A and B are shown apart, each in its own frame.
Chain A
C-alpha cells in the first residue's frame, strides 16, 4: 500500500473526508496531504496513528484534531475554533491564526499557532501522568486565556509586536499548570485565583524544547525568543474553591 497520498477536499463533506483519512491510516499510509480544504470541520477527529503526518492546505473548520491520538497535523492556513479540542496526543502546527477555545480541554500533545488565537485559548487544559498538553502561540491571545487551567503549559509570545494578551480574565480559576507570557501582563488583567511570578531557570529549561520546535516550524530564532523577558501565571492556590462551601 502506498505510504503517501493526496486527498482533494474540494466540495467534500467532512464525513467522507474523515473516512478517507481513517482508511488511509489503517492501510499504513503515513504521509497525507489534503488540498483545497475550505471549512470542513472535525478533520482528524479521534484519529490514531503515531507516525502519521497530515498536511492541510486551506482553511479547516472547527474542532480540528479533536480527540486525536498521535498524528501530526500541519495546517497551511488559518483555523476555525477549537483546534486540538480534548486532544489526547499528537501535534498540530498551524501556519496562521485560530479561532476561540483553541486547545480546549487538551489532555496531551502539542499545538503550535504561528499567529493569534481567539478568546478562551487553552481553556481547561489538564494533564495526567506522562501526558502534558502544550500550547504555544506566536502572536497574542484574547480574554479568558487559560481559564480554569488544570494542568499543562500555555505559552504566548506576542511576536506580532504587541503585548501577548491585553484583555481580562487571564487564568481565571487556574488550579494547575502554568501560563508563560513573553513580555508582561497588567495585574488587573489577571482573573480570580491567578498570580504573576517571575520565571525561574527551571521554567526556561521547561519551555525551551517547545520554543525550539516553534522556531523550527515557523522560522524564528529560538535563542532570540528565549532571551526575552517572560512572566508566568500560576494558581494562587491549588484549591481555589476549597473554601467556598460549608455543610448542611
Chain B
C-alpha cells in the first residue's frame, strides 16, 4: 500500500489515577475503541468517532478526548480534510459517504441577521401578562370566505375550508425514517409531538405499527422508492408529504443498504429482509410540474381530499419558481430544506457543496409567492439547519409558517453530532438498528427531552415576539421589518428583502 494510513482524527487519553477499571467505556463504545490489558484500559484512538458516549458514561470523568492537531504540514488550501479525502479516494475509487449536516465552512446567514425590538413607540408586549397567539394552521387557505346571516342572527361560513394541521407551536420535527434512525428514536419524538401539540414526519420508511397510537401526529412521506406506501399508510397519516428532494443531497436519490433492512425495517418498508432499498433520484411518475400536480391530486383522491398534501424540495437556486408551480398544484404546503440539513448518509461532495442556505431560499420563495398573489393560499415550512429559537423566529420573519427540526431533535435525545450515522453503530441508540444499541435510548426519557426543547423554544419565540411588539405569529410571518442584516452584502440583503442595521 503506497499511501498508508492517515493519522487518527481524535486522541483519547485515560487518566489512570481516576480510572477504576469499571469497564463501562468498553461496554459503551460500539466502535470498539477500548479494551482492558494488564489491568489498564487501552484506547485505540484510530477507531474513535468522537461520539462522546464513553465520556458521558465514565463515572470518574477519566476519559479525555481531543481533536488531534493537524500534524501534516499546515497549508491553507490543502487542508487535512482535502488531503485525506484524496488518500481515501485514491485507494478506493469510490464515492465518499458522510452523515449529518454540511461540514463546509460557510457563513451562517442567520447569524448575520438580527431581530429588532420596541423601545417607547409601539410598546413591547409582556407574554406573561398578555395573550400571545402562537398557534399556526398549516394547509390551504381560501382566497376569500363567504358568510351569510342565518335566521338566529349568527353568521354561517359558506366557504368549504380545506383540512389544515393545527400546530400549537410552529416547530415540527422533520422526516427521519425508520431504518435511518431507530424505532425508539421515532417513538420518543412521536410522544413528544403528541405532548406539545405538533407533528413529525415518518420519513420514507413507512410507519411501524408501534407508532400507530401517534398516527394523528404523523406526516407520512411518499418518496421515489414508495417504500411502505399503501392506502392504509396514506390514510393513517395526519398529512402526506411528497419528498422530491432533501437539503443534504439535492438532486439525488437515497439508498438504505441491505444490511440495515432488518426484519422490522423490512416489514415497515414492505421489502424483503436485507434487500437494498433504493430510492431513485426522480419519482418515475413525475417528470414535470404537471406530473407533480397529478401525484398531489392522486394522493388527495386516494384519501378523499381529507388530508393536506405537502411537497418537500431541497433549497436550490430555482426553488422560488418550483414553489410557484407547487402552489398551483393543489398542494397545501411547500417544505424547503436548506443545504445545512442533516442526513443519515449522503455523498460528502453533495452534503458539503450542493444547494443553497435556507435563509435565502425561504425569503425568495415567500417573495415569489407574494408577487404572484398565491402566498396566502399555501403554507411554507422551512428546514435544514434550524439550531435554536432565534433561527426559528428569523425563519418565520423571512416568510415561513413553521419550521421542521431534525438534528436539533436528535441532539435533544443525546446525539453528539459525530457524523457517523451511516455506519449504523450510533452509540446513543439513535441512528442504529442494533437491538443492544437501540435499547440504550429510553423513549419516555428522550421524549421528555424533545418536548422540553420545543417548549423552551416556543417560550423564547413568544418572548422575542413580545419584545418586537408582536402578539401573533401571523404578524411575524414574512415581517422583514423586524430583521436587519449585519455585515451582509447588498445582493444578499436584496434576496432576503431586509434592510441593513442602522437603516
Chain A residues with a Cβ under 8 A of chain B: 14-15, 18-19, 22, 41-42, 45-46, 48, 62-63, 66-69, 81-82, 85-86, 88, 101, 104-105, 107, 120, 123-124, 126-128, 131, 147-148, 150-151, 173, 175-176, 238-248
Cα–Cα distance between A67 and B271 once the two chains are bound (Å): 16
A41/B297 in contact, CB under 8 A: yes
Residues of A with C-beta under 8 A to B98: 248
Cα–Cα distance between A61 and B5 once the two chains are bound (Å): 59
Residues of B with C-beta under 8 A to A128: 266, 270-272
Nearest chain A CB to B162's CB is how many angstroms away? 13
Nearest chain A CB to B46's CB is how many angstroms away? 13
Q: Counting CB contacts under 8 A, is B385 at the interface?
A: no
Residues of B with C-beta under 8 A to A148: 278, 280, 284
Cα–Cα distance between A41 and B303 once the two chains are bound (Å): 15
Would you mind naming 24 contact pairs between A and B with Cβ atoms under 8 Å apart?
Answer: A41-B294, A42-B301, A46-B235, A46-B301, A48-B231, A62-B294, A63-B294, A85-B285, A86-B226, A101-B285, A105-B285, A107-B270, A124-B284, A151-B271, A151-B272, A239-B258, A241-B278, A242-B258, A244-B94, A245-B95, A246-B92, A246-B94, A248-B96, A248-B97
Assess A176 versus B231: contact at CB under 8 Å? Given A63-B294, A246-B92.
Answer: no
Cα–Cα distance between A128 and B297 once the two chains are bound (Å): 26
**When A and B form their complex, which 5 residue pairs have the shortest distance between CB atoms, in order from nearest?**
A46-B302, A246-B94, A105-B226, A246-B92, A128-B270
A-B pairs under 8 A by CB, number: 133
A105/B284 in contact, CB under 8 A: yes
Nearest chain B CB to A28's CB is how many angstroms away? 19
A245/B271 in contact, CB under 8 A: no
Cα–Cα distance between A241 and B94 once the two chains are bound (Å): 11
Of A69, A101, A247, the contact of B96 (CB 8 Å cutoff): A247
Residues of B with C-beta under 8 A to A88: 230-231
Q: Counting CB contacts under 8 A, is B305 at the interface?
A: yes
By size class, the interface of chain B is 35 or more
Nearest chain B CB to A17's CB is how many angstroms away? 10
Residues of A with C-beta under 8 A to B445: none
Residues of B with C-beta under 8 A to A45: 298, 301-302
A67/B305 in contact, CB under 8 A: no
Of B230, B276, B302, the contact of A175 (CB 8 Å cutoff): B276
Cα–Cα distance between A100 and B275 once the two chains are bound (Å): 27
- Most A CB atoms within 10 A — which of B229, B231, B276, B297? B231
B226/A176 in contact, CB under 8 A: no
A246/B97 in contact, CB under 8 A: yes
Residues of A with C-beta under 8 A to B272: 127-128, 151, 176
Residues of B with C-beta under 8 A to A244: 94-95
A82/B285 in contact, CB under 8 A: yes
- CB-defined interface of B86-98 with A at 8 Å, one 1/0 digit per residue? 0011001011111
**Further 19 A-B residue pairs, CB within 8 A, beyond A127-B272, A238-B276:** A45-B298, A45-B302, A63-B285, A67-B298, A69-B230, A82-B285, A86-B226, A86-B229, A124-B284, A126-B270, A128-B266, A150-B275, A151-B271, A239-B258, A241-B276, A246-B97, A247-B96, A248-B88, A248-B97
- CB-defined interface of B285-320 with A at 8 Å, one 1/0 digit per residue? 100000000100110011111000000000000000
A243/B303 in contact, CB under 8 A: no
Residues of B with C-beta under 8 A to A82: 285
B298/A63 in contact, CB under 8 A: yes
A248/B348 in contact, CB under 8 A: yes
Cα–Cα distance between A199 and B285 once the two chains are bound (Å): 31
Cα–Cα distance between A67 and B302 once the two chains are bound (Å): 7
B234/A46 in contact, CB under 8 A: yes
Assess A104 versus B284: contact at CB under 8 Å? Given A42-B301, A46-B234.
Answer: yes
Identity of the chain B residue whose Cβ is nearest the Cβ of A19 in the assembled complex? B304
B285/A46 in contact, CB under 8 A: no
Nearest chain A CB to B383's CB is how many angstroms away? 23
Cα–Cα distance between A63 and B295 once the two chains are bound (Å): 9
Cα–Cα distance between A141 and B483 once the two chains are bound (Å): 57
B89/A246 in contact, CB under 8 A: yes
Assess A104 versus B231: contact at CB under 8 Å? Given A18-B301, A42-B297, A248-B96.
Answer: no
Cα–Cα distance between A81 and B286 once the two chains are bound (Å): 11
Chain B residues 209 to 246 lying within 8 A of chain A, measured CB to CB, are 224-226, 229-231, 234-235
Q: Counting CB contacts under 8 A, is B112 at the interface?
A: no
Residues of A with C-beta under 8 A to B224: 124
Cα–Cα distance between A110 and B328 once the two chains are bound (Å): 34
Q: Counting CB contacts under 8 A, is B83 at the interface?
A: no
Q: Counting CB contacts under 8 A, is B257 at the interface?
A: yes
Q: Counting CB contacts under 8 A, is B423 at the interface?
A: yes
B285/A81 in contact, CB under 8 A: yes
Nearest chain A CB to B432's CB is how many angstroms away? 16
